[in-house]
Structure 1
């Protein structure tokens, strides 16, 4: 963003593909693109599938129909309202979700307590949950959009990421304690959400279902927004190359009446319309036709896509930037500060990259083991 600002270009959303290509070359850009596209689609499929399941319980509309309507509603919000309106709606949804979560947790503590930490839990099952744990970090998708939305202001970005991470972390830790406590009290292995919904207290099942839907909605908003911006950037690049190669070609003839208006509307919004179709159409097709799409999508998204994109590639990119800055003889003040910051973070970068690689290997071994058992 600094480079583009120095060149006098507009500070638009810079995708992880562009970042990888600038630092790791064409191979890095291609790798980032492949994993990002897989992550975007698997995340969207997971959210669409789960929203249909929740809405079916709430209003008894078939899962395929309700999931499609839910996804379509947020697509219209982002397409028509833009980032600012989407941000305002998302803030309201997030506040409602946090309020519901606090109410549910207070009631759940009364019902289940904190007995999950007394050693009765089966901690050997933790490795199997790693993909879902990493999938909960899917908000990293929104980082490029945040950078553009806040104008590249590092101070505001750090505060937003810190507060935006700490608040759900605290809520999640409380929820984990409650889940372990409820599981310990159950006669057999039961999903804590299903156990809470089975409680005969007035309003509890509705509260849990509504909270789940709000959680899906806020997650879908961030993923859809960032995924659309990613495709827009790629289509803009293709459109620019196409227009450059066809300079001097004959223009379209003026069309009378409604056709002219439609062509004008399509011409000014074709990239946005195309990006939306590319994101939403495959999502709805898979989520409505594949059984148990949510579980399969979260395993793929968390175990491979998220880990590669935000665990393996960023440390590699940071390392290349550090080496490049170290080899640069210029004594610019900003570059010196960037170089110093990267130098202090080098051990952390190495550990994060190594840990992410271990998770990918562990997931591969788990999947091969599962395939061997099924065959």
Structure 2
């Protein structure tokens, strides 16, 4: 599972309230479990069976269309596509900045090659090969994070989890908290990867979400401790980097790069699978799509191979090409992209839509035993939806305040 604990707080110098982090984590965990229930329910209804080397994904668009109708599918598609591109631009842009700091190579070119590297990994290695690489990268990232946090404690940066943050700044941190903790775009992939086994899927979601939560809380305690030692408000990352040892700067940059890499893998995999599902549907509905007979020795079977994989490569190109175009022409897109993705796209897609989809599924399939439990949870579904709408409205207010100070 994709995890990128405290990366975006470290990169933007934010110190969120621990209570705010826990509330957002609980909110997002419930939303993720709702998505899992809806996805698995639709998979079982459609009788999805996984092939050995290829996942059959039910995307967020299909989930919305099956439960909320055509307009729900259009809304989910537009929001998901915008979210996917803003997230990819953020990762590509920031990776270029970090590589420029590490190896002094132009940021736009560095970001291009960094994104291309993971594109090749997913295209050639497939889901299972990519998962193995991602596990290794995640383990390395967590080791570096632990070393950085231990170093922060040694330097005196520990105030405990109670902290004394400025509650007036909480709204500004919510989009970044959501952007850091959201893993919901991987829910359809996980449901397919684990064979619709609800027990394993729920455990994966819960355990995977605990890692970034703990890391964020530790970063809170360390950052508040470091900031309390300064005479004025200072970015806690700058305090760490100011230590007279070059290894600290390298550790922070390496951790940031690994965190972006694991994040990019998850987004690139799920986003390309989304486009592949749409292309597969078009292929099945097209009367001209037929497998032509393979001539003996024709291009060593390349025609047959391309016919089997063209949708996957086309979907990957649809994700990567616009991303690289924007990230190379607008190198400072990271902060704006994270605010848009976390404050609007993710909150709408993974905050407002899941309760609405669960409510609609209950109304349409109330005779299903598995769905009857939702009737007792209707107040909770309504509360989740209103909470998500409140976050969106607050973000609109914050943005309007910036335009008219």
TM over 0.5: yes
Q: If you compute each CA radius of gyration, which structure gives the higher value, 1 or 2? A: 1
Matched, 1:278 2:315: no
Question: How far apart are the structure 2 equivalents of 1:202 and 1:128?
Answer: 32
In structure 2, relative to structure 1, the CA distance for the partners of 1:170 and 1:294 (3 Å cut) is same
Question: How far apart are the structure 2 equivalents of 1:99 and 1:118?
Answer: 25
What SS does the corresponding residue of 1:152 show, helix, strand or coil? Answer: coil
**Bigger proportion of residues as helix:** 1
* Ranges in structure 2 where 5+ consecutive residues have no aligned partner: 1-39, 51-55
Give the aligned partner of residue 359 of structure 1: 391
Question: How far apart are the structure 1 equivalents of 2:48 and 2:209?
Answer: 31
Match of 2:193 among 149, 163, 169: 149
Instruction: State how many pairs are aligned.
Output: 361
Query: C-alpha displacement at 1:217, in angstroms?
Result: 0.8
Match of 2:347 among 291, 307, 314: 307
Give the aligned partner of residue 19 of structure 2: none
Matched, 1:204 2:248: yes
RMSD across aligned C-alpha pairs, in angstroms?
2.4
Query: C-alpha displacement at 1:267, in angstroms?
Result: 2.5
Matched, 1:25 2:64: no
Give the aligned partner of residue 112 of structure 2: 68
Q: Is the 8 A contact 2:86 2:341 kept in 1?
A: yes
What SS does the corresponding residue of 2:57 show, helix, strand or coil? Answer: coil
Query: C-alpha displacement at 1:24, in angstroms?
Result: 0.3
Q: Is the 8 A contact 2:157 2:224 kept in 1?
A: no
- 1:46-65 equivalent positions in 2, closer than 5 A: 46-65=90-109
Which moved further from structure 2: 266-275 or 7-16?
7-16
TM-score by length of structure 2 reads 0.83
Give the aligned partner of residue 27 of structure 2: none
What SS does the corresponding residue of 2:404 show, helix, strand or coil? Answer: helix
* Ranges in structure 1 where 5+ consecutive residues have no aligned partner: 329-334
- 1:141-180 equivalent positions in 2, closer than 5 A: 141-180=185-224
TM-score by length of structure 1 reads 0.89
Question: How far apart are the structure 1 equivalents of 2:297 and 2:214?
Answer: 60
Matched, 1:10 2:42: no
Question: How far apart are the structure 2 equivalents of 1:159 and 1:63?
Answer: 39
Question: How far apart are the structure 1 equivalents of 2:294 and 2:191?
Answer: 41
Give the aligned partner of residue 191 of structure 1: 235
What SS does the corresponding residue of 1:136 show, helix, strand or coil? Answer: helix
Matched, 1:347 2:376: no
Which moved further from structure 2: 46-55 or 343-352?
343-352
List 4+ stretches of structure 1 deviating above 4 A: 1-9, 116-120, 249-258, 260-265
In structure 2, relative to structure 1, the CA distance for the partners of 1:363 and 1:6 (3 Å cut) is closer
